[in-house]
Amino acid sequence: MSVLVGSIVMLGMLVIVPLGLGLVQDPALDRVRRLWPLFAVPGAVSLWLPRGDAATALALCYAAGTLLLASHAPRRLARLRSARPAEAAVLTALVTPSVAALALVAERFGHELFGFELGILALTVPHFHFAGFAAALVAGLVCRAQDGPAGRFAALSVPLGTLLVLVGYFAGERTELAGAVVLTAGMWTVALLTWRTVRVAGPDRVTRLLLAVSAGVLAVTMVLALSWALGEATGLPHPTLTWMAATHGLGNALGFALCALLARRRLQDLTRTEGTTA
């Protein structure tokens, strides 16, 4: 696993997932959020070890944490009995880190899972932390805040696009392209709704800046995702995977996911403060 990809995955494990779980505002997730470092730190260490038994054992520790997190999805569904689009996005966010962890365990062991090359497995790990967990969660949070047709479209299309991309791994490049189109439509809708929030006078300057960066980055990085998927499906010239990791991957990790989640936390803190002083 390259230094760049490993660094992006570390950000997802150690920062993005616990930060995002706090934004769900579900007391049932408090325990797994407190325990998360016990799983994420070994997982992060595994990224920097040579492939083999030690790296695999540490990756399995992380996989155990993601399975614990994923187990909350059916329990949450049974408890809330909600079919709202925002809830579908949150449930997707709870499950997708386990897909990343499965790829991580196989890659650290040196096993070409389902016939996929180790390089593809390595890139699957950040994909399902950011296009899976972070994107779905942010879409759900946006839908909670702006529960109109656009918000509901974003909350449904991001999980659907993520699922189609996953199915495309097995069904072929055209299915993966369809997933990229659906995912891009959802993420651009998230960007549009985020930009509308920027224009509201309520958020402070730092929050508006974080929101603006996250929206602006999405407008660019999802074009790269589309161009890569289109090239894979049609044979047209398209960026290499190394270039995609350095642009699309890094941009989504820092510019979108981190900025968006920090902004949403600031917005939640502002809402709680206003509620306390009201």
Angle between helices 30-46 and 53-70 (to 10 degrees): 160
Q: How many domains does the chain have?
A: 1
CA-CA distance, 257 to 190, in Å (whole number)?
Answer: 12
Q: 87: which residues sit within 8 A by CB, 6+ positions away? A: 77, 80, 140
pLDDT attached to residue 275: 53
Question: Which structure tokens are listed for 210?
Answer: 């974080």
When pLDDT is averaged across residues 238-254 and rounded to a whole number, the result is: 92
Q: Which helix (H) or strand (E) holds 274?
A: helix 259-277
Domain that holds residue 270: 3-277
When pLDDT is averaged across residues 105-115 and rounded to a whole number, the result is: 94
Distance between terminal CA atoms of the chain?
A: 51
Confidence of residue 197 (pLDDT cuts 50, 70, 90): confident
Q: Which of 80-84, 162-166, 238-242 has the lowest mean pLDDT?
A: 80-84
pTM: 0.93
CA-CA distance, 143 to 51, in Å (whole number)?
Answer: 41
pLDDT attached to residue 82: 77
User: Is the model's pLDDT at 272 over the cut of 90?
Assistant: no
User: Is the model's pLDDT at 152 over the cut of 80?
Assistant: yes
- Phi, psi dihedrals of residue 17, rounded to the nearest 5°: -65, -50
When pLDDT is averaged across residues 90-115 and rounded to a whole number, the result is: 96
pLDDT attached to residue 274: 57
Residue 113 backbone zone (phi > 0: left; psi -120 to 50: alpha; other: beta)? beta
When pLDDT is averaged across residues 39-43 and rounded to a whole number, the result is: 98
- From residue 13, alpha-carbon distances to 9, 21, 62, 269 in Å are 6, 12, 9, 23
Stronger pLDDT, 85 or 82, i.e. the higher one: 85
- Amino acid in the structure at residue 166: L
pLDDT attached to residue 202: 62
In this predicted model, what pLDDT tens digit does every residue of 69-80 receive, in sequence order?
Answer: 999 999 999 998
Q: 46: which residues sit within 8 A by CB, 6+ positions away? A: 54, 55, 56, 57, 58, 59, 61, 62, 104, 108
When pLDDT is averaged across residues 185-195 and rounded to a whole number, the result is: 95
